[in-house]
A = this chain, B = another copy of it.
């Protein structure tokens, strides 16, 4: 597949006219073809308008069409495996097996959302029956359900080129809800984004949907994304990335004449609490598990454990010794970009300069197996401090994105017998936490509950049957679970 370097706007390829950039292979430092250009303001506007126009038709189409569309996307993505996987590898430095598993997760979550919208109960249908005899005033009939919120701006994440980018979780949940999407591709993997974006476009054609249902914009500068978030046609934002970038989008959205919700997932510290009994009984095993969790994907997961809280003493010293050895034995890895690598090293440097923080490893030595340029090479690091220093140094509560963890030794003192960063894509998952982990901890960015971000309730009062959506009709033709007079049932009403 030849890459065009173009944006995708209302179904048409359009080369950008802004500053040019190219993807870089982080393992070699080589720039990759083709040249991409930032979308200009007019193109950003046209993409948002195209999504707005598509919204009218897409929001009204039956759940079966949406499910068919989601399945077609999964199918088209699978069909591109041969080009998608090597390009994603080249653009991210992530291993082939990781990319292949991420593709499976991406298609898996599309199919999960297809089943969710087919089953239909996610719309939280509620029906309060009329009571014409009630005093002092008769009670009207009310029927309420969730409906799509409008076009969603989705920002591709650097660390998930597939599962949280063009056809990833934000897009899957927005499309499932009935919202067209404008994706701002991450500039570190524009080629991967193009392949995925055009796969979605083909799926839209297969499902007979308007072409503006998915639009793709390239941009190496923040302006493209900010213009998108400020566009009046955009109704919500999904973002995964840094606190700085996420907060800038949140602030722009809050300052709009009509504010819109921003679901920004910005990573967090993910503390592990190790209780004394466990450290004494199986410290060596815990150290192996912790080292694996800290270095998985070169520490580039938002759920990487960033803190280990444990009680000081000999067992803790033994544990930290074992953890330091295990980290030292892990080969240095290739980070996603040179900039992320610089931030990692700068973050480590700042932490090490804090009085009371000890460096327990000096960084992994690159092995012969690590054929990575210095610009993106990162070894793991173990830092340690005491509870007082930690509590009095807010800087130590800031995430360092990369393969490092800070041990905090305290005098006395919950994941239960497990380590992040594994995150299931399922109904009960909640991926999000107090700010700055997310801008709104009431919503998840992973799992089927993610659909709730992109829907809003609409209540119909005393409407005739034929003017109601199927989910709220008396006969319950979709057979969904509904709250009737406050009680859940699939019975007709």
A→B interface (CB under 8 Å): 101, 115-116, 119, 121, 126-128, 136-137, 139-140, 142-144, 149, 250-251, 254-255, 258-259, 261, 414-418, 422, 424, 426-430, 434-436, 439-442, 444, 448-449, 455-464, 467, 481, 483, 485-486, 488
The answer on a CB contact under 8 Å between A442 and B457 is yes
Chain B hits for A439, CB < 8 A: 259
A486-B448 contact given A442-B261, A455-B442, CB 8 Å threshold: yes
The answer on a CB contact under 8 Å between B427 and A461 is no
Give the number of times this chain occurs in the complex, counting copies. 2
Contact among B139, B250, B442, B449 for A126, CB-based, below 8 A: B449
**Residue in A250, A426, A458, A481 whose Cβ sees the most chain B Cβ within 10 Å:** A426
A422-B140 contact given A121-B488, A128-B427, CB 8 Å threshold: yes
A483-B101 contact given A251-B254, A461-B415, CB 8 Å threshold: no
Chain B hits for A460, CB < 8 A: 416
Chain B hits for A414, CB < 8 A: 463, 467
**Residue in A119, A140, A442 whose Cβ sees the most chain B Cβ within 10 Å:** A442
Chain B hits for A415, CB < 8 A: 461-462
Chain B hits for A101, CB < 8 A: 136
Q: Can you list 7 A-B contacts with CB-CB less than 8 angstroms, sorted by A residue number?
A: A116-B486, A128-B428, A414-B463, A414-B467, A416-B463, A416-B467, A488-B488
Chain B hits for A461, CB < 8 A: 415-416, 418
Q: In the complex, A128 Cα to B116 Cα: how many Å?
A: 15
A261-B440 contact given A128-B429, A142-B426, A144-B430, CB 8 Å threshold: yes
Q: In the complex, A258 Cα to B422 Cα: how many Å?
A: 27
> Which residue on chain B has the smallest CB distance to residue A487?
B119
Return A133 CB to nearest CB of chain B, in Å: 15
Q: In the complex, A414 Cα to B427 Cα: how many Å?
A: 35
Chain B hits for A128, CB < 8 A: 424, 426-429
The answer on a CB contact under 8 Å between B428 and A459 is yes
Chain B hits for A436, CB < 8 A: 258
The answer on a CB contact under 8 Å between B427 and A126 is yes
The answer on a CB contact under 8 Å between A462 and B417 is yes
The answer on a CB contact under 8 Å between B463 and A427 is no
The answer on a CB contact under 8 Å between B428 and A126 is yes
Return A149 CB to nearest CB of chain B, in Å: 7
> Which residue on chain B has the smallest CB distance to residue A146?
B442
